[in-house]
Structure formats: C-alpha cells, structure tokens
Amino acid sequence: MTSKPPLPTKTRVQARELRRGMTDSEQALWQRLRSGQLGGYKFRRQHPFIPYVVDFFCERAGLVVEIDGSQHSAQNDATRTRFIESKGVRIVRFHSNEVLLYMDAVLEAIVNHLDTPTLTPTPVPEGEGLKAKADPS
C-alpha cells in the first residue's frame, strides 16, 4: 500500500475552512450525497485537488460535482475545469439555485454521470504511435 504525500498546509487549511463554512446549497446536497446514499457511491466534501479544493469528489467514478454561486466567475471556472479534466476527472456543475429548488433533478443528473464511465484513450497497438516513429530502423 502506497501512502499519499502530505497536503500543502495552505490547501489543507483552506479545505477545512470551506468544510466549516459550506453554503446552504452545499449543505443541502451534502446531506443527500454523504454515507453512500447515492447508489453506494462515496463522496468527499471540499476535497483538495491541488491547487484547488472542489466541492464534492467521488473517486470511484472520477467525478467532481461543483456548485456555482454568485462568487464564481466563468473565466476562473473554465481554468479550474480544464486543469481538473486534464487529470482524467469529469466535472458536473450546478448553480446553487438549481440545487436548492430542483434537488431531485440535480441528483438524477449526478446519478447519470456516475453511471457513465470516464472515457480513456485506447492503447495504441505495439509498433504504432510515437515509439514507432522515433525508431529509425
């Protein structure tokens, strides 16, 4: 079993602060995601994804759930999304009002994402790809 390296202090402190100060929509969704209530999938709240902290993360499904409120900017969210998706993780975003007003629809959308496998590239057959091009023989 390999151990994970310790989190940077700043990230760890930020995650703890965010857990203590969850918004109403985050608290409401957490009550429905916690303890494997959603199809047995385990979620973590305010999970460090260095250098970011995401609202909810399901490692088994490779899925991040983000709740966007008025403090979010489209440009910053796009940057975060590109970075996290580059790590092979999918992101689904909801506005905080959607969570509070349409919880059942939000949960259904999350279940649909959980049941959709992460797309991974198909391995290139031996003798093709970069290795073959680099070999001049």
Look at residue 128 and tell me if it is in a domain: no
Quick one: tokens of 42? 């385990």
Under 8 Å CB-to-CB from 80, ≥6 apart: which residues?
52, 66
Look at residue 11 and tell me if it is in a domain: no
DSSP 62: T
Put the strands of the sheet holding 44-49 in their side by side order. 44-49, 52-58, 63-68, 90-95
CA 60/CA 85 separation, integer angstroms: 15
Look at residue 41 and tell me if it is in a domain: yes
DSSP 92: E
Predicted pLDDT of residue 5: 58
The domain that contains 50 carries what CATH number?
Answer: 3.40.960.10
Look at residue 62 and tell me if it is in a domain: yes
- The count of domains in the chain is 1
Predicted pLDDT of residue 27: 93
DSSP 61: T
* Bond into 125 cis (ω within 30): no
Rg over CA atoms, the chain: 18
pLDDT tens-digit map of 38-59: 999 999 998 888 888 899 999 9
Predicted pLDDT of residue 53: 87
Look at residue 14 and tell me if it is in a domain: no
In the predicted model, residues of the chain with pLDDT beneath 70 are 1-19, 72, 117-137
Look at residue 136 and tell me if it is in a domain: no
- 79: containing domain: 22-117
Look at residue 15 and tell me if it is in a domain: no
Q: How many CB atoms lie within 10 A of CB 24?
A: 11
Look at residue 133 and tell me if it is in a domain: no
Predicted pLDDT of residue 123: 53
CA 108/CA 13 separation, integer angstroms: 32
Predicted pLDDT of residue 20: 72
